[in-house]
Amino acid sequence: MINSKYQHSVLGAMIALTGMATSYAATTDNTNWNAKAEKMLEKTVNIPTVVGRNKVPELAKYLADQYRAAGIPEQDIHIMPYKDTAALIVRWRAVKPSNKKPIMVMGHMDVVEAKNEDWSKDPFVFVKQDGYYYGRGTLDMKNGLVATTVAILKLKAQGFKSNRDIIVFYTGDEETGGIGAQKGATEWKNLLDAEYGLNADSGGGSFSAEGSPLGFLMQTAEKTYADYTLTVRNPGGHSSKPRPDNAIYQLADALKKIETYRFEPSLNETTRAYFTERAKKEANPLGDAMRAWLKNPADGRAADIIEADPIEVGITRTRCVPTKLFAGHANNALPQLATANINCRIMPGVSPDVIKAELEKVIGNPVVVVNRTDKRQASLVSPLRQDIFNAYKNSIKARYPSAPVMPDMSTGATDARPFRIAGIPVYGVTGAWGVAPADWRAHGRDERLPVKALSDNIDHWERMLTELAG
């Protein structure tokens, strides 16, 4: 008979060896999936999905093929052509169906233009160098396409028993017209009948230059994008005979009034939660202003202090700024026409028509005609859901236990807006972390992503989907 001490030793060795084998298998499995992800990122970056090149359908087919190869039935894969681009819709049906509606995983396949002469390397040739992946879209947001796809394929291969359908929706024009998202929320809603969406294109973390996490954001709202044209017309005349009603001067006066005007500050559920968390960490005049504004939302002075901070700019109120100018027709003639484009980022729930009327009042000159140049509806705020927030927070805390996590309102625009308007809340929960703010190169020169960020992103989406669909 083996004595108990020896028996425990043998048993311990067996457990250790079993654990080593399991750990080795898991490590090998992750290595294989990470290698697959890197090849997929290389393929996606090398397809230049910029407006005008008609390459998005090629990328949609490539991604669709990945889901086909994983065993997703043909009837659940849809490439949706529109204009010169396309969207991809894939449904992974629940293994253990319940009465829960699907989760929609969102992203976009298009990228902004990049010119060879502006970069140190070809922007549409994937390069792995010095711990980074280089190429247009590595950061915004082909890493998200790859991470969500690989996470889903990995879960499927491992036999994950989802209790609800998971729907993938990748658009083809988020960087330009946003028509794909609009169609998804309306014409294609029968294919996207989700309880909510998880957007791989928003949210995320901020890091110091040394690589330590500063905080993480879950996007639950975004401002409404709206453009307005200011137009001044005049009979003009010879430049040697100046007239007091010069169209350029009149337009300049209107622009100066817009520059100095401050829209009324306002708090919503998202920004209140955001500033409540931020105020806990700020022991300086900025923190004092946050605490004062939370206590009294009518305290415009406190809101102005917050708005003056470069990180917080645009979060307290609607902001409008001129982005284009045109005037005159000859060097020796008085201008007959002067125009400017005013781009506004409007607080959720506020109609762009209301802002048009406010601009007219601010300018106070009927000679300056204000026109809207788009028909976008006001964006809405997604309700703060504890289950989604917890899943996002738990994934972050697994890697960064002490980092703060808070809701966020984006000042920019994403594909989430039409779905929020259509009654499908969307939450920005990207896992593309590890990029310092000073190195954020999305839309810029030599766009890049840390190599580790791709595998971290895959792991993040595995965690999120396991918690929310398991």
Secondary structure string (H, E, C) spanning 279-322: HHHCCCHHHHHHHHHHHCCCCHHHHHHHHCCCCCCCCCCCEEEE
407 shares a domain with 326: no
Examine the fold and report which residue of 354, 372, 390 is the final residue of a domain before the chain moves on: 372
90 shares a domain with 228: no
Bond preceding residue 141 cis, omega within 30 of 0: yes
Residue 285 domain flag: no
Residue 310 domain flag: no
Q: How confident is the model at residue 159, as a pLDDT? A: 96
Q: How confident is the model at residue 13, as a pLDDT? A: 35
Quick one: which H or E segment has residue 104?
strand 103-108
CATH of the domain at 66: 3.40.630.10
How many separate domains does the chain show?
2
For residue 92, the enclosing domain spans 28-222+379-469
Task: Please classify residue 19 by burial: count the beta carbons closer than 10 Å to its beta carbon, then call 0-12 exposed, 13-18 middle and 19+ buried.
Answer: exposed
83 shares a domain with 216: yes
Q: What is the pLDDT along the chain (470 residues), one digit of tens a residue?
A: 333 333 333 333 333 334 444 444 555 677 899 999 999 999 999 999 999 999 999 999 999 999 999 999 999 999 999 999 999 999 999 999 999 999 999 999 999 999 999 999 999 999 999 999 999 999 999 999 999 999 999 999 999 999 999 999 999 999 998 999 999 999 999 999 999 999 999 998 887 777 788 889 999 999 999 999 999 999 999 999 999 999 999 999 999 999 999 999 999 999 999 999 999 988 899 999 999 999 999 999 999 999 999 989 999 999 999 999 999 999 999 999 999 999 999 999 999 999 999 999 999 999 999 999 999 999 999 999 999 999 999 999 999 999 999 999 999 889 999 999 999 999 999 998 877 777 888 889 999 999 999 999 999 999 999 999 99
403 shares a domain with 257: no
Pairing state between β 103-108 and 166-171: parallel
241 shares a domain with 188: no
82 shares a domain with 231: no
Q: Torsions phi, psi of 225, nearest 5?
A: -85, 130
| Residues in contact with 388: Cβ distance below 8 Å, sequence separation at least 6, in sequence order | 196, 198, 218, 427, 429, 468
Q: How confident is the model at residue 205, as a pLDDT? A: 87
251 shares a domain with 206: no
Residue 163 domain flag: yes
Angle at 230 between CA 264 and CA 342, to 5 degrees: 50
Q: How confident is the model at residue 26, as a pLDDT? A: 54
Helix or strand or coil: residue 74?
A: helix
Pairing state between β 426-428 and 196-199: parallel
pTM exceeds cut of 0.95:
no
According to DSSP, the residues that pair with 206 across neighbouring strands are 215
231 shares a domain with 103: no
Residue 112 domain flag: yes
Residue 201 domain flag: yes
Q: How confident is the model at residue 101, as a pLDDT? A: 97
Helix or strand or coil: residue 87?
A: strand
| Count of C-beta atoms within a 10 Å radius of residue 381 | 19
CATH of the domain at 330: 3.30.70.360
Q: Torsions phi, psi of 149, nearest 5?
A: -65, -50
Q: How far apart are CA 350 and CA 269, in angstroms?
A: 15
Q: How confident is the model at residue 270, as a pLDDT? A: 97
Helix or strand or coil: residue 250?
A: helix
Residue 6 domain flag: no
> Do residues 380 and 348 lie in contact, with contact meaning Cβ atoms separated by under 8 Å?
yes
247 shares a domain with 191: no
Residue 123, both tokens: 């922007």
Examine the fold and report which residue of 306, 337, 372 is the final residue of a domain before the chain moves on: 372
Q: Each residue of 286-302: b (16+ CB within 10 Å) or e?
A: bbebbbbbbeeeeebeb
Residue 185, both tokens: 């929320």
For residue 194, CA distances in Å to 4, 63, 87, 187 come to 57, 21, 17, 14
Helix or strand or coil: residue 75?
A: helix
Name the nearest CA neighbour of 220 among 375, 388, 436: 388
Hey, what's the torsion of the CAs at 331, 337, 338, 339, to 10 degrees? -140
433 shares a domain with 356: no
Q: How confident is the model at residue 23, as a pLDDT? A: 46
355 shares a domain with 409: no
Examine the fold and report which residue of 327, 346, 372 is the final residue of a domain before the chain moves on: 372
Quick one: which H or E segment has residue 340?
strand 337-346
Name the nearest CA neighbour of 362 among 244, 263, 252: 263
Q: What letter represents residue 84's amino acid?
A: D
Quick one: which H or E segment has residue 405?
strand 405-410
Q: How confident is the model at residue 28, as a pLDDT? A: 63
DSSP for 346-372, written as a single string? EPTT--HHHHHHHHHHHH--TTSEEEE
Q: How far apart are CA 44 and CA 57, in angstroms?
A: 12
Residue 325 domain flag: yes
Per the listing, tokens 């895959």 go with 458
Residue 183 domain flag: yes
Name the nearest CA neighbour of 340 among 370, 374, 375, 367: 370
406 shares a domain with 353: no
